[in-house]
């Protein structure tokens, strides 16, 4: 990592969530002398248990609070001399954004603006300090059967969630071009792995299966996603934060395209081996439900830019990553 990024402290927002908590564990393991300040509101998507292992680490500080709280964010910058921001915090569940979009607008747009504005004023033009904005491939809309998203793809968000993330991406971009801030943005494909919220597809399939419930699959199950193991994503974020070019965007994907029904089948096959069901295969519990409004058909990432420019690529095979994920959730659900 570039040494100037380790001089003081790094503010990580949303670090009690799925990707954020995995990243902090990875980051402090690799850079044990860096001070990490984790600011998280602990909404439904954040869980303090996700970072329980870090509580005794003298270089880790947890702060419960809202990224929209200008006074709180400003106080953190001054108290800890923040030299970098890695911004995970976001409302991210698409169904929730359809039912109640206002919180997505507030957190994802206003919250990102608040962080940028405080950082801009505190850093006062110091281009050694960096703001890394974590975004999603959903800002690009829906792909057909062919092609991939690249850094040059046009934005076509189709849900209130993706629209709010697209807006935040543009605000980050504007702070680089208007104020010269040292910002980078990364847009990733669907993450999977330990600590993901129960509402997401893979945890929902696992939990429903082992509890004997119907496994809900939207529409005909043919919607396609590219899946990225969370640890590979964490490594990619580290590489971008450390070595990415200011003002640039980098796409991270796992090169693992599967439709939702195939994902359900694969998980059921793993569960059939690990915890056999006396009533037969878990696949018998799969049930198609009414499709989500504005459900994008396919997302897929071309990650060649970060591979070529920064030397990153996803290393975890989908088979091994999925088995690790199933094992983690089995331990979680069977212990209750």
- Which of 40, 91, 110, 137 does the annotation list as catalytic? 137
CA dihedral sign of residues 173, 152, 235, 241: negative
The pair of structure tokens assigned to 99 is 């039912």
The pair of structure tokens assigned to 79 is 């108290």
Helix or strand or coil: residue 228?
strand
**Is 138 a catalytic site residue?**
yes
- d(C-alpha 143, C-alpha 122), whole Å: 40
Per-residue exposure over 146-180, b if at least 16 CB sit within 10 Å of its own CB, e if not: eebbeeebeeebbbbbbbbbbbbbebbeebbeeee
**Is 137 a catalytic site residue?**
yes
If residue 8 lies in a helix (H) or strand (E), which one and from where to where?
none
**Is 161 a catalytic site residue?**
yes
For the chain, helix (H) and strand (E) counts, in that order, are: 11, 12
Neighbouring C-beta atoms of residue 329, cutoff 10 Å? 22
- Which of 60, 129, 140, 161 does the annotation list as catalytic? 161
**Is the distance from CB of 41 to CB of 66 less than 8 angstroms?**
yes
- Which of 91, 138, 231, 265 does the annotation list as catalytic? 138
- Residue 207 CA, chain-centre distance (Å), reads 21
Active site residues: 137-138, 161
């Amino acid at each position: 990592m570039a040494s100037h990024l380790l001089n003081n402290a790094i503010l990580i927002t949303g670090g009690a969530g799925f990707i954020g908590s995995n990243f902090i564990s990875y980051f402090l393991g690799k850079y044990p002398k860096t001070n990490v300040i984790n600011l998280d509101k602990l909404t439904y998507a954040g869980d303090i248990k996700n970072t329980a292992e870090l509580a005794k680490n003298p270089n880790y500080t947890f702060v419960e609070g809202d990224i929209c709280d200008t006074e709180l964010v400003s106080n953190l910058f001054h108290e800890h001399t923040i030299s970098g921001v890695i911004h995970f915090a976001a409302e991210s569940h698409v169904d929730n954004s359809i039912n109640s979009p206002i919180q997505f607008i507030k957190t994802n747009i206003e919250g990102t603006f608040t962080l940028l504005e405080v950082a801009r004023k505190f850093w006062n033009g110091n281009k050694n300090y960096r703001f890394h904005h974590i975004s999603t491939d959903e800002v690009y809309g829906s792909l057909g059967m062919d092609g991939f998203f690249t850094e040059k793809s046009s934005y076509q968000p189709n849900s209130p969630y993706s629209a709010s993330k697209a807006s935040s991406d543009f605000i980050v971009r504007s702070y680089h071009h208007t104020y010269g801030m040292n910002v980078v943005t990364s847009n990733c494909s669907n993450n999977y792995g330990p600590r993901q919220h129960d509402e997401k597809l893979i945890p929902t399939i696992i939990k429903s299966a082992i509890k004997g419930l119907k496994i809900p699959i939207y529409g005909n199950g043919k919607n396609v996603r590219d899946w990225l193991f969370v640890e590979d994503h964490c490594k990619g974020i580290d590489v971008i934060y450390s070595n990415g070019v200011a003002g640039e965007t980098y796409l991270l994907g796992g090169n693992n395209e599967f439709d939702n029904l195939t994902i359900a089948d694969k998980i059921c096959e793993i569960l059939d081996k690990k915890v056999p069901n006396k009533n037969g295969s878990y696949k018998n519990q799969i049930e198609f439900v009414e499709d989500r409004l504005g459900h994008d058909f396919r997302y897929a990432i071309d990650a060649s830019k970060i591979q070529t420019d920064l030397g990153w690529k996803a290393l975890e095979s989908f088979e091994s990553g999925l088995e690790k994920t199933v094992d983690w959730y089995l331990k979680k659900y069977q212990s209750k």
